[in-house]
A and B are shown apart, each in its own frame.
Chain A
Amino acid sequence: MENIIRVGMADLAASSHPAKLTTLGLGSCIGIALYDVKTKVVGLAHAMLPDSTQARNRENIAKFVDTSISALISEMEKLGGTKENIIAKLAGGAQMFAFRQSLDLMRIGHRNVVAAKEILNKLKIPIVSEDTGGNHGRTIVLDSETGILRIKTIGYGVKEI
């Protein structure tokens, strides 16, 4: 049987090989897919907001890009992964509604992408591919066998990165 783990909104999960990690309907949220190329340990986070230090309520660490990435890495290390062998792929960060006002909150998708890149760079984790931005939702599946991130959309086709 295939081991498919579903990651909800503001949630994260890691698994040893073999497994598929999936998260459905990413909009402005960002999907951070991590893959240990040696051990095939995988991790996926579905983060909503860029920065935990700006939030009034930060109980759920999986909600924020910064805290979710570090939590995900330590989960992967518990399963035998090593930070030096981890690569990252990013998906999501769309702007679903075209509000004319440049409200900060409306550009949250973009800010999530920027935050994820900053933090991954700081941790020296290479971002090998991404499918971010735009104005459409994405469902993503990360396969521990290959490290391929499969992205499904409504009206924008399917791609693998």
Chain B
Amino acid sequence: MKINFENLDSTHIDVLREIGNIGTGNAITALAKMLNRKVDMDVPKVKVMKFKDVSEILGGAEIPVVGLLLNVEGDISGSIMFILKMDAAHILVNMLMKRRLEECREFGEMELSALQEIGNILASSYLSSLSSLTGLSIMPSVPELAIDMAGAILSVPAIQFGEVGDSVLYIETGFFEGSTRVVGDFFLVPDIDSYGVLLKSLGVIS
């Protein structure tokens, strides 16, 4: 069966959503361990959405964001993008570096590499849960980081996906540490054949 994003039925989307939930849960748990803090997590919002609407969710195509991009290889291929708004990025870096949370220093080499490490942990724990769920071999590349306009950052996965469709699986995840809320956004951009592989491995399609 040829899977096309536009013709996914609601069962398929539910399955992808559940994969998103489980993966994000694992990713946040891994992050909490790394930060050595107890965090509470929101139920992730998972939706299939049009690329042209994505930057609106982030607050507009022009606002600066931190983008982390990894390529995925193995039985499925594609990429994962993790987006943090600047305030959330500052809070995460401050947590990791044990600074006061409201500090807002300019990102230097240390801070950028901390963000890259956060991306690494989130993505690899996400993928390892996906991998054990499906029995597929899935390997991430080292994440690349860029700080720029949301639209420009998002154009990269949008183009990758644009070859075959106009929609993307979008996961908004938030967690609390005390009264501080940090929100990050995941975008999963498997290439189109990988949806079939993914759904087949879970027995959803034959």
Interface residues of A (CB under 8 A from B): 8-11, 24-29, 48-49, 54-57, 60, 63, 94, 96-99, 101, 103, 105, 108, 135-139, 154
A27–B166 touching, CB < 8 Å: no
Most chain B Cβ neighbours within 10 Å, of A25, A105, A136: A25
Report chain B residues within 8 Å CB of A99.
69, 71, 141, 144
Contacts of A29 in B (CB 8 A): 155, 158-159
Query: Across chains A and B, which 4 residue pairs bring their CB atoms closest together, nearest first?
Result: A25-B151, A137-B152, A27-B152, A27-B155
Distance A24 CA – B60 CA, assembled complex (angstroms):
9
The answer to whether A25 and B155 touch (CB under 8 A), given A139-B62, A154-B148, is: yes
- Scoring B145, B146, B150 by chain A CB atoms within 10 A of each residue's CB, the highest score goes to B146
How many residues in B have their beta carbons less than 8 Å from beta carbons of A? 33
Interface residues in chain B, defined as those with a beta carbon under 8 Å from any beta carbon in chain A: 51-52, 55, 60-62, 64, 67, 69, 71, 141, 144-156, 158-160, 162-166, 192
Chain A binding site: helix, strand, loop or mixed by DSSP?
Answer: loop
Say whether B146 contacts A10, CB under 8 Å: no
Best-buried of B145, B147, B149, B165 by chain A (most CB within 10 Å): B149
17 contacting pairs across A/B (C-beta < 8 A): A9-B52, A9-B158, A10-B51, A10-B52, A24-B61, A24-B151, A25-B151, A25-B155, A27-B152, A49-B163, A55-B164, A97-B145, A97-B146, A105-B160, A108-B159, A139-B61, A139-B62
Contact A10 B166 (CB under 8 A): yes
